[in-house]
Amino acid sequence: MRIALIKGDGIGVDVAEATMAIVEAALAKVGEQAPVYDEILSGAGYYKETGVDIEPGGEERAEAADAIFLGAIGLPSIRHKDGTEISPHLRLRDRFGLYAGVRPVKAYPNAPQRLADPRAAGIDLIILRESTEGLFYSAAAHNRSLVVNDDEVQDILRITRKTTTKLHDFAFNLARKRRERGKPGHLTCVDKANVFTSLAFFRKLFDEVKERHPDVPVGYNYVDAQALDLVRKPWEFDVMVTENMFGDILSDLAGGLVGGMGMAACAEIGDANGLFQPAHGSAPDIMGQDKANPLAAILSGALMLDYLAEKLERPVLADAADLINGAVEHGFEENALRPMEFGGDMGTKAVTNQLLSRISNRMPAKTSVSA
Ligand code: ATP
């Protein structure tokens, strides 16, 4: 199993190293060898030293790996001449067509709960964010905006049949997989089909793909109503599939409901490649202080093992993912995980060590809490 490892900048380095230690411990517990790492130098620090944002040949090596794990990239103090930040990972997303952005949002006991309603303890959902087109098709990095004149700028929201069909298929399969793991397995199409032709097309394609998945119960929500519902009754949702920009906004909102950035795991999956990274940035304000919460990265590591189980057809890797998810779940239940991010007393190393000892002392969990 070959992992392309990009530690990146700031706390990215710490949380990537913590994740690999946890992944190795979980693999050892299920009788598997540690992955072979291909560490690729990249990021703002690397750019400052060398003038390029990723090692020559790094993108090809990332492509050749079974999966890519990324800590975090970017430092506000180091920028290109035009003021934009160093972001080779956006290029990787484009290059590998990583259309399926999987953002799990789950409430853990003893972690901050922002809603007073006790049902908020049951929040366990996934936002599937299309990640290569939508309104981000016009992201500044792609240089596609139409600057009409000094008084007007236009951006395009692009929805294609090819990507959207793949996205919806992915969403239905994800919902089914969730149901097999004891979750509701319900899928909601989130759009604005009542106003935009592009998003009516998004919904039409959803309905076409639905025909192939009659076993998955579905619902529909306009994005504004979905934002309201994520605050009013997030516990009623399971998997939501949506356009890039909507997914960007809703996943931050939903992440806020269950703690903060240090819990926000993320998988970006394409036809042949998968990139796994915490959804947070390099957090320069706390770098080098052993304060970062490594759980977003570690939960992303579990998503990576789940992905590899399917890609390499080795179900034992999903057992290793279950082990990690179970250790996080039980660690919170017993109040043994108290990240500083939530006002607790445990830094990056303490959280990691707590999980390491839980994983090496525990049998594989029978009930999965992963995606
Ligand atoms: P980017 O644009 O690269 O995603 P950002 O500007 O959104 O980055 P982050 O680096 O994600 O910023 O950090 C935002 C805030 O959240 C910071 O104050 C940081 O300290 C905090 N934060 C982010 N990740 C973590 C973490 N893993 N543990 C603790 N605090 C974190």
**Domain-located, residue 204:** yes
Number of domains in the chain: 2
Are residues 123 and 251 both part of a single domain? yes
Are residues 168 and 278 both part of a single domain? no
Are residues 135 and 86 both part of a single domain? no
Q: Among 261, 338, 345, which is best to mutate for testing ligand 1, by the most ligand atoms less than 8 A from CB?
A: 261
pTM above 0.85, yes or no: yes
pLDDT band at residue 259 under the 50/70/90 scheme: confident
pLDDT tens digits, residue range 287-333? 999 999 999 999 999 999 999 999 999 999 999 999 999 999 999 99
Q: Check residue 371 and give its pLDDT.
A: 38
Share of the chain above pLDDT 70, in %: 98
Ligand 1 atom nearest the C-alpha of 282 is 10
Q: Check residue 40 and give its pLDDT.
A: 98
Ligand 1 atom nearest the C-alpha of 73 is 3
Smallest CA separation from ligand 1 atom 2, residue: 281
Smallest CA separation from ligand 1 atom 29, residue: 292
**Domain-located, residue 107:** no
Among 257, 284, 313, the domain boundary falls at 257
Please state the rounded mean pLDDT for residues 144-162. 95
Smallest CA separation from ligand 1 atom 4, residue: 281
Please state the rounded mean pLDDT for residues 83-107. 93
Who lines ligand 1 at CB under 6 A? 11, 74, 261-262, 280-283, 285-286, 292-293, 296, 341
Whether residue 13 is predicted with pLDDT greater than 90 in this model: the reply is: yes
Are residues 87 and 145 both part of a single domain? no
Single out the residue of 274, 364, 245 nearest to residue 92, CA to CA: 274
Are residues 129 and 156 both part of a single domain? yes
Residue 116 DSSP code = S
Question: How buried is 146 (Cβ within 10 angstroms: 0-12 exposed, 13-18 middle, 19+ buried)?
Answer: exposed
* Ligand 1 centroid distance, CA of 286 (Å): 9
Full domain range(s) for residue 236: 113-257
Q: Check residue 143 and give its pLDDT.
A: 81
Among 257, 288, 318, the domain boundary falls at 257
Q: Check residue 139 and give its pLDDT.
A: 82
Highest mean pLDDT among 254-258, 327-331, 365-369: 327-331
Are residues 275 and 350 both part of a single domain? yes
Are residues 156 and 26 both part of a single domain? no
pLDDT tens digits, residue range 200-232? 999 999 999 999 999 999 999 999 999 999 999
Ligand 1 atom nearest the C-alpha of 10 is 10
Are residues 363 and 287 both part of a single domain? yes
Q: Check residue 260 and give its pLDDT.
A: 85
**Domain-located, residue 308:** yes
Please state the rounded mean pLDDT for residues 156-184. 97
Q: Check residue 82 and give its pLDDT.
A: 80
What strands, in cross-sheet order, belong to the sheet with 100-106?
A: 36-39, 2-8, 67-72, 274-276, 267-269, 100-106, 124-130, 239-242, 187-191, 218-222
Among 226, 257, 288, the domain boundary falls at 257
Are residues 337 and 212 both part of a single domain? no
Please state the rounded mean pLDDT for residues 56-68. 98
Are residues 242 and 300 both part of a single domain? no
**Domain-located, residue 106:** no
Ligand 1 atom nearest the C-alpha of 296 is 27
User: Is the Cβ–Cβ distance between 67 and 301 less than 8 Å?
Assistant: no
**Domain-located, residue 108:** no
What is the overall mean pLDDT for the chain? 95
Dig out the tokens for 166 from the structure: 């793949």
Distances (CA, A) of 229 to 112, 208, 225, 250, 325: 20, 26, 6, 11, 27
Are residues 168 and 244 both part of a single domain? yes
**Domain-located, residue 67:** yes
User: Is the Cβ–Cβ distance between 348 and 354 less than 8 Å?
Assistant: no
Smallest CA separation from ligand 1 atom 1, residue: 281
* Ligand 1 centroid distance, CA of 193 (Å): 33
DSSP codes joined into one string, 258-325:
TS-GGG---EEE-SS-EEE--SS---TTTTTTT----HHHHHHHHHHHHHHHHHTT-THHHHHHHHHH
* Ligand 1 centroid distance, CA of 254 (Å): 16
* Ligand 1 centroid distance, CA of 31 (Å): 35
Q: Which residues of 332-341 are buried (b: 16+ CB within 10 A; e: fewer)?
A: beeebbbbbb
Distances (CA, A) of 134 to 116, 155, 201: 34, 10, 12
Q: Check residue 364 and give its pLDDT.
A: 47
**Domain-located, residue 188:** yes
Please state the rounded mean pLDDT for residues 183-197. 98
Q: Check residue 363 and give its pLDDT.
A: 52
Whether residue 69 is predicted with pLDDT greater than 60 in this model: the reply is: yes
Please state the rounded mean pLDDT for residues 48-65. 97
Are residues 244 and 127 both part of a single domain? yes
User: Is the Cβ–Cβ distance between 326 and 25 less than 8 Å?
Assistant: no
**Domain-located, residue 304:** yes
User: Is the Cβ–Cβ distance between 229 and 254 less than 8 Å?
Assistant: no
* Ligand 1 centroid distance, CA of 284 (Å): 8
Whether residue 113 is predicted with pLDDT greater than 80 in this model: the reply is: yes
Dig out the tokens for 283 from the structure: 């957090």
pLDDT band at residue 368 under the 50/70/90 scheme: very low
CATH number at 127 reads 3.40.718.10
